[in-house]
Amino acid sequence: MTNLKSLLAVLCLCSAFGQTSWAFDVQAGSAFVKDMGTGTVLLNKNADVPLPPASMSKLMTLYVTFEAIREGRLTLDEELSVSEHAMSFGGSTMFLDTTDRVSVEDLLRGIIVLSGNDACVVLAEALSPDGTEAGFARFMTERARQMGMNNSVFLNSSGWPAPGHVMSMRDLAILAERLIVDFPEYYPMFAETEFAFDGRAPKNVRNRNPLLELGIGADGLKTGHTQEAGYGLVGSAVQGDRRVIFVVSGIDTVAQRARETEALVNWSFRQFTERKIAAAGDEVARAEVWMGSAATVGLTPAQDLVTMVPILSAGPLAAEIVYTGPIEAPIQAGQKIAEMVLSPEGMPEVRVPLLASEAVSAGGFGVRLKTVSGLLFKRLLQGAGEAS
């Protein structure tokens, strides 16, 4: 592995970091905060540890349901029956019973606003490959793997406590971003603060998300709580042209969850500013080439490289270009061959793929002969040095 410290990269990335630690003093056991526009991770605390997600895992049930609606396997106005299994759930419910037929749209709001365990099971049984909630959970786990959520295992559709039903905070953030990006037509449901289904549960009509009415831009997504998991929240907020996604878990009380997540949102927007590091196509370094028609190849980001940095500046941002080299020819233009690693003080490192800026063909006989001769000569010198 060759670590190439590019002088150009170090000079251009002159953002700002002194000895101050910029990490938010989060009290949650696990937390993850991401600036969605730039992809910058602002906070990572145990974000890859699989933990009981409680009702936050209902987001996966919602995602799979939205996919089914988009694909025409389900419609919003379709009415579904309620099984005895669905009716048997306690905790947060819509108070459904086996005499009901409930529209998919009401079930979606029953999950998003009321956190209905029974509503999750009704949708799960309707969409399950084998008609059971367990079968739906296995499908969710497989779908999660396809989405890059590698620390998630689902044993049910609602997050009801079950040994081995786990998600990581990073996986929940991936899921939140996919919901926002993939289903903008349904995402406004997550900002709804009240849903009085059929007048059945006057004490369970309010959305439990404590941030929705604070005027800080919060517009989703889902709270969670069990005795084992503590209090958690998958949230998102938008201010101006910036959106952040944040996930916390393992908080002791509902009041502490409200305080901590509000502070986390304010910190995310107030303490960071956007910084353009390099434009797409800019050559930030050159990498050595093995047996090629050229000795080096340019490295460039595939798109504008923009990151979030703390608002105060005090020194250069540590940056390295990392690749396994020399890189053997032929090399195609646009081929991923390296990474830029940014290491801002007090923040998780940022890794950005770098592409070959031009094609490099394999060298002809003369190039290969010269390369091999040089290698043999180098080994002879090394041997002579060791002998002496």
Per-residue pLDDT reduced to its tens digit, 169-201: 999 999 999 999 999 999 999 999 999 998 887
Q: Is residue 317 pLDDT above 80, yes or no?
A: no
Whether 388 is catalytic: no
Q: Give 226: exposed, middle or buried? Use CB within 10 Å, 0-12, 13-18, 19+.
A: middle
The CATH number covering residue 101 comes to: 3.40.710.10
**Given this model, what pLDDT does residue 274 score?**
87
**Residue 115 annotated to the active site:** yes
pLDDT of residue 16: 33
Q: Which of 34, 45, 58, 222 is catalytic?
A: 58
In this structure, are 230 and 313 located in the same domain? no
Which of 235, 270, 305 is the C-terminal boundary of a domain?
Answer: 270
pLDDT band of 11, cuts 50, 70, 90: very low
- Over residues 286-311, the mean pLDDT reads 91
Higher pLDDT, 219 or 344: 219
- Residue 10: pLDDT band with limits 50, 70, 90: very low
Together in a domain, 82 and 215:
yes
Same domain, 218 and 327: no
Q: Is residue 372 part of a domain?
A: no
Predicted pLDDT of residue 325: 81
Q: What is the mean pLDDT of residues 290-299?
A: 92
179 shares a domain with 248:
yes
Question: What value does the mean pLDDT take over residues 287-314?
Answer: 87
367: pLDDT strictly greater than 70: no
Claim to verify: residue 11 and residue 35 sit in the same structural domain: no
Looking at residue 17, what is its pLDDT?
33
CB atoms within 10 A of CB 173: 22
pLDDT band at residue 276 using 50, 70 and 90 as cut-offs: confident
| Residue 180, both tokens | 């926002």
Confidence of residue 20 (pLDDT cuts 50, 70, 90): very low
Task: State mean pLDDT over 192-216.
Answer: 91
Residue with more model confidence, 202 or 278 = 278
Mean pLDDT of 135-160: 98
Which one has a higher pLDDT value, 371 or 332? 332
Give the pLDDT confidence score for residue 311 in this predicted structure: 84
304 and 349 in a common domain: yes
Has residue 313 got a pLDDT over 50?
yes
Q: Which residue has the higher pLDDT, 198 or 77?
A: 77
Split into its structural domains, the chain has a count of 2
Question: Is-catalytic flag, 83?
Answer: no
Mean pLDDT of the chain: 88
Query: Which entry of 30, 55, 249, 268 is annotated as an active-site residue?
Result: 55
On whether residue 119 sits in a domain, the answer given is: yes
Asked whether 321 and 6 are in contact (CB, 8 A), the reply is yes
- What CATH number did the domain enclosing 333 receive? 2.60.410.10
Domain residue limits at 187: 30-270
Burial letters 36-71, b for 16+ CB under 10 A, else e: bebebbbbbbbbeebbbbbbbbbbbbbbbbbebbee
Range of lowest pLDDT (82-91, 267-276, 372-381): 372-381
